Amino acid sequence: HLYTMDAVGVMEPDQTVELLMWEMCPDTMQIFTKKVCKDGPEATKKSGICDIIPGAQIDDFLFDPCGYSMNGLLPGGYYITIHVTPEPHCSYVSFESNVPQENYMELMEKVLNTFKPSKFLMTVFANKESIAKDNHKQLENKELVPGYTRADHQFCTFKNYNLTYSHFTRPII
């Protein structure tokens, strides 16, 4: 479901970037188990999650026997949230942030290098006041992510927001 505010105009910049990932590298997923890490902070460090958006104040939790959730807060009211389901038969990771960036490529590469999914869906949702609004144009390039093939790409225009949805796949490694 996608909800948008049908207000008269846009006063404040607003943006959300999401990466939904499936079929992750099994070795990487082991980090998010009690066999490899004792707690959330150890998994955050060992996986490299701490370097995705440095400087966040992080609250992280490692479930027993496996599974991981983190919420991070940044100055300015920005957030980052990551949830990991590492079970090999249904591995899934979600990443979401409202950090404003003119180009989300570097952030996307960091997230993909951290989890190494074979399939992912990227969405960028930005209003006209946001510095992230040009990401929609950049995401039109279907060769954007080396090693991945773009399987689907959609651009939607709403009253105050635009949305890009791009689905990428690659062979399982």
Interface with ligand SAM by CB under 6 A: which residues? 63, 66-69, 83-87, 92, 94
Q: Which is nearer to ligand SAM, 91 or 164 (CB)?
A: 91
CB nearest ligand SAM: which residue? 67
- Residue with Cβ nearer ligand SAM (84 or 126): 84
CB of 116 to ligand SAM, least distance (A): 17
Q: How far is the CB of 67 from ligand SAM (least distance, A)?
A: 2
Closer to ligand SAM by CB, 80 or 139: give it.
80
Q: Which is nearer to ligand SAM, 92 or 155 (CB)?
A: 92
Kindly tell me which of 66 and 122 has the beta carbon lying closer to ligand SAM: 66
Which residue, 26, 25, 23, is CA-closest to 35?
26
Least separation in angstroms between residue 6's CB and ligand SAM is 27
The DSSP result for the chain, as a single string, is: -------SS--S--EEEEEEEEEE-HHHHHTTBTTT-SSHHHHHHHHTGGGTSTT-EEEEEE-SSB-EEEEEEETTTEEEEEEEE--GGG-EEEEEE----S--HHHHHHHHHHH-EEEEEEEEEEETT-GGGGHHHHTT-TT-STT-EEEEEEEEE-SSEEEEEEEEE----
Rounded Cα distance, 41 and 59, in Å = 8
CB of residue 137 to ligand SAM, shortest distance in Å: 29
What is the closest distance, in whole angstroms, from the C-beta atom of residue 66 to ligand SAM in the complex? Answer: 5
